[in-house]
Amino acid sequence: MLKVDNVTKYYGENLAVDNLSFEVNNGEIFGLLGVNGAGKTTTFRMIIGLLEMSSGSITLDDQPINYSNTNQIGFLTEERSLLTKLTVKEQVIMYGILKGMKEKEILEKLDYWLERFHIKEYRERKIKELSKGNQQKIQFITAIINEPKLLILDEPFTGLDPINVALFVEVMKEFKEKGSIIIFSSHRMEHVEMFCDNLVILVKGKSVLQGSIKEIKKEYRKKNIHIIGDVKTEDLKNIKGVVEVEENAMEIIVKIESEKYIDDVFEVVKNSKNIIKFMVEDPSLNEIFLNKVGEVYED
Ligand code: ATP
């Protein structure tokens, strides 16, 4: 288990991470979400020991993270850190050896992953000759070459097309199945909703929402009602508990404070003509994220 306990980081006067705590179990995918500058990269750097915390503690299976367990960690950095004059093979061998692996094992794994990522023809090519997306795949391979127990992925999907996002997610799920702890950052909520077990949303270094997607949606309480029919939006806006009414080419979306106002909306809708849809939905994670981030910035 990875345990981040009351971690705070100051850069001089600037508070980058503010008393952050979370736990990630073996076989779990955890999302660290936040806008630019929220403190995601700083948190990752503290986890792998590249940055000292101002206070707090971080442990992997109850042990502090240091040279004794660093071989169990894989890290994909946000700023691309490949040595672009090296060939793919040279680069991956270098990373594997740093993680205590033997060259024969590295090459076997490299060939397997190049095949999986459909780039085996690039094995002997210089990194700088590869497209950005393919360089990203090499970064990912270097992060997983040692079959890490703790896999940290800082913005892994940047610059990837949807097919390759799906491929990365497939591999992340395989590592999850094998019991690895996977922690990744993103500001793209649609990625997160698909496969993340638990998450934390950071705003200005502080956790503003934490838990499973289900719990987060439950705690958020607001609901969206999707309506198709001849309903006057003015009538909907006047209902107590209605926060907002949006209308697009397809439907009307009524945002309500909590589910206790569903009946009140239904009372207005049921007397209208041509109703072919009345559907209550949880808001998307993206909507919750924007709302939470907005609340903090308005304070
Ligand atoms: P992004 O999504 O843009 O990568 P992030 O969530 O990873 O952002 P961090 O890079 O961790 O955010 O930055 C958190 C805060 O710490 C920001 O206010 C940033 O300006 C500050 N910061 C980051 N690195 C340093 C540094 N080396 N020196 C001083 N301040 C820093």
CATH assignment of the domain containing 84: 3.40.50.300
- Is the CB of 16 within 6 Å of ligand 1? yes
For residue 129, give its domain range. Answer: 2-217
* 40 within a domain of the structure (yes/no): yes
Distance 46 CA to ligand 1 centre (A): 12
- Is the CB of 14 within 6 Å of ligand 1? yes
Distance CA 298, CA 282 (A): 24
Are residues 131 and 197 both part of a single domain? yes
* 286 within a domain of the structure (yes/no): no
pLDDT tens for each residue of 218-271? 888 899 999 999 999 999 999 999 999 999 999 999 999 999 999 999 999 998
Q: Residue 196 phi/psi, 5° resolution?
A: -90, 135
pLDDT tens for each residue of 140-181? 999 999 999 999 999 999 888 889 999 999 999 999 999 999
Element of type H or E holding 272: none
Are residues 201 and 123 both part of a single domain? yes
Residue type, 115: E
pTM of the model: 0.87
Query: Residues 213-222: contacts with CB within 8 Å, 24+ apart?
Result: 213/285, 216/285, 216/288, 217/282, 217/283, 217/285, 217/288, 220/282, 220/283, 220/288, 220/291, 221/257, 221/258, 221/259, 222/255, 222/256, 222/257, 222/258, 222/283, 222/291
Domain final position from 190, 217, 244 = 217
Are residues 212 and 89 both part of a single domain? yes
Are residues 226 and 213 both part of a single domain? no
Distance 262 CA to ligand 1 centre (A): 42
For residue 297, the model assigns a pLDDT of 63
Of residues 84 and 136, more confidently modeled: 136
Count of domains for the chain: 2
Residue 195 has pLDDT above 90, yes or no: no
For residue 296, the model assigns a pLDDT of 63
Domain final position from 164, 198, 217 = 217
- Is the CB of 36 within 6 Å of ligand 1? yes
For residue 10, the model assigns a pLDDT of 97
Residue nearest to atom 18 of ligand 1 (CA): 37
* 293 within a domain of the structure (yes/no): no
Are residues 159 and 195 both part of a single domain? yes
* 290 within a domain of the structure (yes/no): no
Are residues 92 and 153 both part of a single domain? yes
Are residues 232 and 262 both part of a single domain? yes
Residue nearest to atom 1 of ligand 1 (CA): 36
* 239 within a domain of the structure (yes/no): yes
Q: Which atom of ligand 1 is nearest to the CA of 38?
A: 6
* 294 within a domain of the structure (yes/no): no
Domain final position from 169, 186, 217 = 217
CA neighbor of 286 nearest in space, from 176, 221, 175, 201: 201
